[in-house]
Each structure stands twice: as structure tokens, then as C-alpha cells.
Amino acid sequence: VRSETDGLLPQFDTNQPLVFFVNGKKVTDDGPDPECTLLVYLREKLRLCGTKLGCAEGGCGACAVMVSK
């Protein structure tokens, strides 16, 4: 996969755990699937069903989530 800056995007290392926070709670996934979308992860793995699948293209905003530092 190519990016505009260096020509290649970094590879996803599935040997490293994925660590992030959702609603203030730490989530650690030891076997993350690089093909899994954030929408699917939130709904199916974390059972947080507030995010919806609408148009399946990102245009309608139903699948919008807030990402912050």
C-alpha cells in the first residue's frame, strides 16, 4: 500500500498487542485482525452498538466515532 509521503505505509504487526482506550477503559487485544474495521470491532468484539452501519461508504455519518488523544 502506498502513501503520499514515502510511497509505502507501515506494515501492521499482528505479533504486537493492540492497546487503546474506549469510554475511559483500557482495551488490549492480543490477536488483532488487520482486516477488521473500527465499526465491526466496536459492535462485535466490544458489544458497543451505538455506532451504526448506514451507507457502508462513510458518507452518511452513521458510523462516525470520536477519536482523541
Q: Is the dihedral of CA 5, 8, 39, 58 positive or negative?
A: positive
- Whole-structure pTM value: 0.67
Q: For residue 9, what is the DSSP state?
A: P
- What does each of the 69 residues of the chain score in pLDDT, given as a tens digit? 455 556 666 676 767 888 889 998 999 999 888 888 888 999 999 999 888 888 888 788 888 888 887
What pLDDT is attached to residue 28? Answer: 94
- Determine the structural domain holding residue 41 and report its residue range: 1-69
Contacts of 8 (CB under 8 A, 6+ apart): 1, 2
Domain containing residue 43: CATH number: 3.10.20.30
Total of domains in the chain: 1
What pLDDT is attached to residue 65? Answer: 84
